Amino acid sequence: MKYLFIINPCAGGGKGKTAWSKVQAQLATTPGIQFDCITSRYVGQPRELAAQAAQRNDLDCLVVVGGDGTLHEVITGLMTVQQDDPLPVAYIPAGTGNDFARGYGIATAPRQALIQILTNQRTHRINIGHYHDYSRNCDGIFLNNFGIGFDAAIVHATNHSRAKTFLNHHHLGTFAYIYKAVRVFFTQPDFQVKIQDGRQLQTFNHAFLLVASNHPYIGGGVRIAADQRIDQQELELVVVEKRHRLTLLWAMLMFASGHLITSRFAHLFRGKALRYQVTSAQYGQIDGDEPGKRAFDLALSCCSYPFWQQPLN
């Protein structure tokens, strides 16, 4: 097999560079491995490099060394190219949250993640969330989750924090997320969401948290979906309402501890297709990327892509 490694050295506040040095050392002691490597230098380049790689006929696997955002860019780039036999992807996580690695079952240690790739014997199909936003007439994908409201406001506050780079460099990115979550709790307004559940239209007038998930994890390891599996052609939508500050505080404590899904505060919807609308301007996040503060009119569906990596679980 021949591998192409796309490396984002800046991922996770420099974790990408460290991870690649460990992978290089492992490859140097593993005979018979053919590979090329390319370093990403700017936002959006992983998508361009992946689209170029999809048109090569000498590659068997594209390996991403970076964070979930880098992986998102790469798979987006690959899916923009029509392929009869799509180029499989593998992942060496080196980001801040690494939620995709948790959802799939990939070791966070670079050498162990590489072993999962080199010893893999077959292609694994992963589920990918696809969205169409009628309010902007745009399409895209998400590997982890698409959030509106509370979690997206946390992402916005964290991404625009002066301390983010410092905290990530010292491996304190989770602390930054928690710190901002406390502040956002007191400033995030409630909003209306209309959800089309089969033939029934349900309206929640005081939504606070609205997250569509492809696997159980969000925010660097917080469990938000029940038993969602990344190889399962299904998405899960979680809604939490803001009715009373004390009950909301309790719900958010359960969210932080990973027990929200078992509580009476969460409304759950599952399916291969989901349709919902938020008419007021709210923060959104798509795998940690920000589409801006705006209204959303979303139709979600499932698609899949091949992965070349043996899951841990």
CATH of the domain at 105: 3.40.50.10330
Q: What are the tens digits of pLDDT across the range 299-309?
A: 999 999 999 99
Which of 102, 120, 138 marks a domain boundary? 120
Which of 97, 120, 143 marks a domain boundary? 120
Domain annotation covers residue 254: yes
**pLDDT for the residue numbered 222:** 75
Q: Do 115 and 189 have their domain in common? A: no
Q: Do 115 and 219 have their domain in common? A: no
pTM: 0.89
How much is the average pLDDT of 194-205? 88
Higher pLDDT, 212 or 250: 212
Q: Do 92 and 173 have their domain in common? A: no
Domain annotation covers residue 148: yes
Distance CA 293, CA 2 (A): 42
Distance CA 16, CA 155 (A): 21
Domain annotation covers residue 190: yes
Mean pLDDT lowest for which of 162-176, 242-256, 265-279?
162-176
Q: Do 208 and 269 have their domain in common? A: yes
**pLDDT for the residue numbered 90:** 99
Mean pLDDT over each residue of the chain, to the nearest integer: 89
Q: Do 136 and 276 have their domain in common? A: yes
**pLDDT for the residue numbered 164:** 53
Q: How many domains does the chain have?
A: 2
**pLDDT for the residue numbered 308:** 98
Burial pattern 171-198, b for ≥16 Cβ within 10 A else e, equals ebbbebbbbbbeebbeebebbebbbeee
Q: Do 99 and 149 have their domain in common? A: no
Are 251 and 263 in contact by the 8 Å Cβ rule? The answer is: yes
CATH of the domain at 287: 2.60.200.40
Q: Do 244 and 106 have their domain in common? A: no
Q: Do 79 and 156 have their domain in common? A: no
Q: Which domain holds residue 156?
A: 129-305
How much is the average pLDDT of 47-62? 97
Which of 120, 142, 160 marks a domain boundary? 120
Q: Do 24 and 58 have their domain in common? A: yes
Q: Do 237 and 266 have their domain in common? A: yes
Q: Is the dihedral of CA 226, 122, 146, 8 positive or negative?
A: positive
pLDDT of 47 > 80? The answer is yes
